[in-house]
Amino acid sequence: MHIPDGYLSPSTCAVLYGGTLASWYGCLKRLKRVLLTRVVPLISAFAAFEFVVMMFNLPLPGGTTGHALGVTIAAIVLGPWGAVLSTSLAVALQALLFGDGGVTTLGANCFNMAVIGSLAAYGCYRLLASRSATDSRWRVIAAGVAGYFAANVSALAAGVELGIQPMLFHDAAGTPLYAPYPLKIAIPAMMIGHLTFVGLAEAVLTAGLVAYLQTAEPGLLSNGANPAARDLRLTASLRRFWATVAILLILTPVGILATGKAWAEWSPRDFAAAESRAQIAAASRNAAPPAVAPSGLQRLSGLWTSPFPAYAPRFVKSAGLGYLLSAMFGVGVFLLITLVAQRWLPTRRPEKST
C-alpha cells in the first residue's frame, strides 16, 4: 500500500498532498490545547508501534505481500486526530529513511493510510461500540470489525488512485505514463489480498489489543476523541507500551520471511526482467505488464535515494540483521521524540479552551 515514486502523476500527487496537508492542519488545530502537554510523546509512541507493525509482511495471493497498519488501535486510543498524525509520522519515516513509499507520493500514502484509515477506523468503532460498556465483549468485536474495515477502505483508495492513472495520463498512442494497470485490474489486485489476509490481520491485532486494554488499561478506551481528558492515564501507560514495541521490534526479522513485493511497488528494472514480469502478470489477473516501465515511472522513480533502501543497510550482509537494525533505528527516532517531548513540554501549560 506504500505507493512508490512514479506510479502517480504529479497532478495526482499534488491533489492528495493538498488533502493531506489540510487534514494535518485540522488535526493540529483540534489538538492545539493538548499538544503542549503530553500528547506528543503518545503520538510518537504510537507512530513507533505502527512503524514496527508495518514491517511484518504477510504473503498474499498472486505472490505479493502486504501488512497490517496498526492505525485502528491508534484511532481508538488517541482519537482520529492523534491517529492521523501518528500514522503520518510512521509513513513519512518509512519513505524518507527506508524508501518504503515515495516522496512525491507521500501525501497519497498518508492520505490513504493515515487520514482515510484513521477516520474509517474511528467512525466504524464508535458507530458499533458507543453504547456498549468499556469492558464489554462487544467492544472487542467492534474493534476487530473497525480494523478490517479501515484496512480495506485504505486499500480501495490506493487501488482507485493507481487505477485511474492509465485513463487520465497516457501518451498519444494510449500508453500509460505512470501506473500501467486500469481500474478493472488495480482494484481487484489490491482488494483480494486485503479482504482475505491483511484486513483479518488488522482485525485480530486490534481486537486483541482492545481485549488486553480492557483488563490492563480500561481508561484508555473511555473516550478516544478527547485524549486531553486521559492525559495522565495515557502517560502512565507509556512504559508498558514501549515494552510492547520492544518485543515486536525483536521479532521484526520474521517480517521478511514472506517473499515478493507488494502490488504496484515494482521498480523500473522489474518490468525488464523475465522472472519479475511473470510475477507482475500473476499478481495482475494474468495481464502482461508493458514491455518497458512507463516513462513517468522511469523519470520519477529515482527522485529520492533513501539512506537505507528496503530496510537493508549496505554495511550489513545479513538480511535479518539489517532488517532488525532498521527497525531499531526507526523506533529510536520516535523514542528520541518522546524523550525530548517529556523533557520539555510538561513545563508548558496547555492553552485554556475558550
What pLDDT digit, counting tens, does each position of 164-195 carry?
Answer: 999 999 999 999 999 999 999 999 999 999 99
Q: How far apart are CA 150 and CA 156, in angstroms?
A: 10
Contact 147, 208 (CB under 8 A): no
Exposed e or buried b per residue across 24-49, where buried means at least 16 C-beta atoms within 10 angstroms of its C-beta: beebeebbebbbbbbbbbbbbbbbbb
pLDDT, tens digit, for every residue of 185-239? 999 999 999 999 999 999 999 999 999 989 888 877 865 545 544 554 555 567 7
pLDDT at 221: 80
pLDDT, tens digit, for every residue of 256-295? 998 889 999 999 999 999 999 999 999 999 999 999 999 9
pLDDT at 348: 47
pLDDT at 345: 63
Longest dimension (CA), the chain: 64
Element (H, E) at 57: none
Write the burial class of residue 303 (CB in 10 Å: 0-12 exposed, 13-18 middle, 19+ buried): exposed
pLDDT at 338: 83
**To the nearest whole number, what is the mean pLDDT of the chain?**
90
Domain positions in the chain are 10-347
Indicate the DSSP class of residue 176.
Answer: B
Q: What's the pTM?
A: 0.93
The C-alpha cell of 142 is what?
467492534
Contact 76, 221 (CB under 8 A): yes
pLDDT, tens digit, for every residue of 65-98? 999 999 999 999 999 999 999 999 999 999 999 9
pLDDT at 1: 87
3-state secondary structure of 36: coil
The C-alpha cell of 175 is what?
500508453
3-state secondary structure of 98: helix
How confident is the model over 317-344, as a mean pLDDT? 90
Q: How far apart are CA 348 and CA 36, in angstroms?
A: 6
C-alpha distances (whole Å) from 285 to each of 39, 74, 137 are 45, 34, 40
Indicate the DSSP class of residue 242.
Answer: H
Q: How far apart are CA 310 and CA 94, in angstroms?
A: 9
Write the burial class of residue 262 (CB in 10 Å: 0-12 exposed, 13-18 middle, 19+ buried): buried
pLDDT at 184: 97
Residue 23, pLDDT > 90, answer yes
Task: Indicate the pLDDT class of residue 353, thresholds 50, 70 and 90.
Answer: very low
Q: Which CATH number fits domain 10-347: 1.10.1760.20, 3.40.50.720, 3.40.640.10, 1.10.3720.10?
A: 1.10.1760.20
Residue 350, pLDDT > 80, answer no
